[in-house]
């Protein structure tokens, strides 16, 4: 999971709030989105003739809630209660509709009324009492939450240094010398590896609609036969988020990262991210973000750069899509051949195929255009890259997962030194808490 994905996970969790805790219908069986849409499509055309019939209005409201039409559900349930004011099930569903629509004050009042109904079975009363406590907690500002993961995997990498397969190369500046032999570090090397990554994130309320959040992510990758391309990273994030009454979220955060190569410091990065999340019905959201980072490379000052990125994304329960673009501008004129603009389109998803197994996959396309000619190759570098991955997720327990995975990368470049392909095959175990 990269930094942006981890950041989005925190923000979407903030947006979900207590509504996620009550997404299961109080008096109806949970159904799929397709079934909910079908039920709504069947019942809605009858509203003009059957509105006022409590049995019909209740069924219409359940279909409306399950399909994300919370306003329609509230109106239908109010009709039920106007005829049957003691209908505890209808009042519970009304409370749920208000909560999912973002009106937790009214939801709390409605649930409290249901709890006082003497005919309510004790198990249901206990559940609704729990909802009331959750609403009280959120109304007073909420509490704190901590989550994280540990992932360990082992695998084979066909090209640990992302290098060309060529053994000889002619450098245009020295073409009169003929082809030169590439050293081992400049040629593709395969190896087995193990990798450990982990992260922990936390959020705490400072008011009813305001949160502070933070996370720490770390990773370590060790190649079995060579250490020259071993990598490690440590990333910290701290930020503030504000939730609006409609559950949209705006956030700003600071990020810092240290990256190591072959046990030596390689690069520092420090920057900030601003993001807006528009929450949509049925577990969907649209995001827009802007990011700035300052990159400082140890012992390579000509690579130091300012990086600006802008992205928009669309997220559902099973799918995420992102489009981003930006510019990386070197600080020193001597490194201008490394300055470039970039664009990226990515699509990823996770689809359950059974209660314990899900298919995971993703594909991304990246394009880079560099500003100035490379001094050795006497031309402006132009790259296009495609990344793909496919894997399975087996739930061994509710919090432990076994994940085999295959990835493939193909980078096309007009400079042969940077033209390469790469694949990895790996298997790992992930623990989430």
Tell me what pLDDT residue 207 has. Answer: 79
Domain ranges of the chain: 31-139, 143-432
Give me the pLDDT at residue 175, please: 61
Q: What is the pLDDT of residues 311-332, one digit of tens each?
A: 999 999 889 999 999 999 999 9
HEC profile of the chain: CCHHHHHHHHHHHHHHHHHHHHCCCCCCCCCCHHHHHHHHHHHHHHHHHHCCCHHHHHHHHHHHHHCCCHHHHHHHHHHHHHHCCCCHHHHHHHHHHHHHCCCHHHHHHHHHHHHCCCCCCHHHHHHHHHHHHHHHHHHCCCCEEEEEEEEEEEEEECCCCCCECCCEECCHHHHHHCCEECCHHHECCCEEEEEEEEEEEEEEECCCCEEEEEEEEEEEEEECCCCCCCEEEEEEEEEEEEECCCCCEEEEEEEEEEEEECCEEEEEEEEEEEEEEEEECCCEEEEEEEEEEEEEECCCHHHCEEEEEEEEEEECCCEEEEEEEEEEEECCHHHHHHCEEEEEEEEEEEEECCCCEEEEEEEEEEEEEEEEEECCCCEEEEEEEEEEEEEEEEECCCCEEEEEEEEEEEEEECCHHHCEEEEEEEEEEEEEC
Q: Average pLDDT across each block of 10 residues of the chain; the chain has 433 residues. List them in order.
A: 47 43 46 83 92 93 91 94 86 84 75 67 64 66 80 97 77 64 79 96 84 94 94 96 87 96 95 94 90 96 96 92 96 93 96 94 97 84 96 95 97 92 97 93
1.20.1070.10, 1.25.40.10, 2.60.40.10, 3.30.70.20: which CATH number matches 31-139?
1.25.40.10
pTM reported for the whole predicted model: 0.68
Looking at domain 143-432, what is its CATH homologous superfamily? Outer membrane protein transport protein (OMPP1/FadL/TodX) (2.40.160.60)
pLDDT digits (tens, 9 = 90+) for 413-433: 998 888 999 999 999 999 999
* Residue-level pLDDT at 170: 64
Q: What is the pLDDT of residue 15?
A: 43
pLDDT at 209: 80
């Amino acid at each position: 999971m990269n930094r942006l994905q981890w950041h989005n996970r925190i923000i979407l969790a903030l947006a979900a709030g207590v509504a996620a805790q009550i997404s299961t219908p109080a008096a109806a069986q949970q159904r799929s989105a397709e079934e909910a849409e079908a039920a709504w499509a069947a019942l809605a055309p009858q509203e003009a003739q059957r509105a006022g019939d409590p049995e019909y209005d209740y069924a219409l409201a359940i279909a409306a809630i399950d399909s994300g039409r919370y306003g329609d559900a509230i109106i239908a349930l109010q009709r039920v209660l106007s005829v049957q004011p003691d209908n505890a099930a209808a009042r519970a569903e009304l409370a749920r509709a208000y909560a999912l629509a973002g009106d937790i004050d009214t939801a709390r009042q409605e649930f409290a009324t249901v709890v006082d109904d003497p005919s309510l079975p004790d198990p249901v009363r206990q559940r609704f009492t729990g909802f009331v406590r959750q609403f009280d907690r959120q109304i007073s500002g909420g509490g704190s939450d901590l989550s994280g993961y540990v992932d360990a995997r082992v695998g084979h990498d066909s090209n640990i240094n992302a290098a060309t397969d060529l053994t000889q190369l002619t450098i245009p500046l020295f073409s009169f010398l003929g082809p030169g032999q590439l050293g081992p570090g400049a040629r593709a090397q395969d190896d087995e590896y193990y990798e450990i990554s982990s992260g922990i994130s936390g959020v705490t309320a400072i008011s009813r609609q305001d949160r502070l959040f933070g996370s720490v992510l770390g990773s370590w990758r060790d190649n079995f036969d060579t250490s020259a391309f071993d990598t490690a990273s440590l990333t910290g994030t701290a930020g503030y988020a504000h939730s609006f009454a409609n559950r949209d979220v705006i956030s700003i955060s600071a990020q810092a990262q240290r990256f190591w190569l072959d046990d030596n410091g390689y690069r520092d990065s420090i920057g900030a991210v601003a993001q807006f999340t528009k929450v949509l019905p049925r577990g969907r959201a649209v995001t827009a973000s802007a990011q700035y980072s300052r990159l400082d490379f140890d012992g390579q000052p000509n690579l130091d750069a300012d990086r600006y990125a802008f992205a928009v994304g669309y997220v559902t329960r099973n799918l995420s899509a992102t489009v981003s673009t930006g510019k990386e501008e070197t600080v020193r004129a001597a490194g201008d051949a490394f300055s470039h603009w970039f664009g990226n389109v990515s699509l990823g998803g996770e689809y359950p195929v059974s209660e314990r197994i899900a298919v995971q996959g993703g594909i991304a396309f990246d394009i880079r255009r560099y500003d100035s000619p490379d001094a050795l190759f006497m031309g402006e570098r132009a790259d296009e890259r495609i990344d793909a991955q496919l894997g399975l997720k087996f739930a061994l327990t509710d919090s432990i997962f076994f994940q085999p995975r295959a990835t493939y990368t193909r980078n096309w470049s007009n400079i042969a030194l940077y033209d390469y392909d790469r694949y990895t095959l790996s298997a790992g175990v992930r623990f989430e808490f």
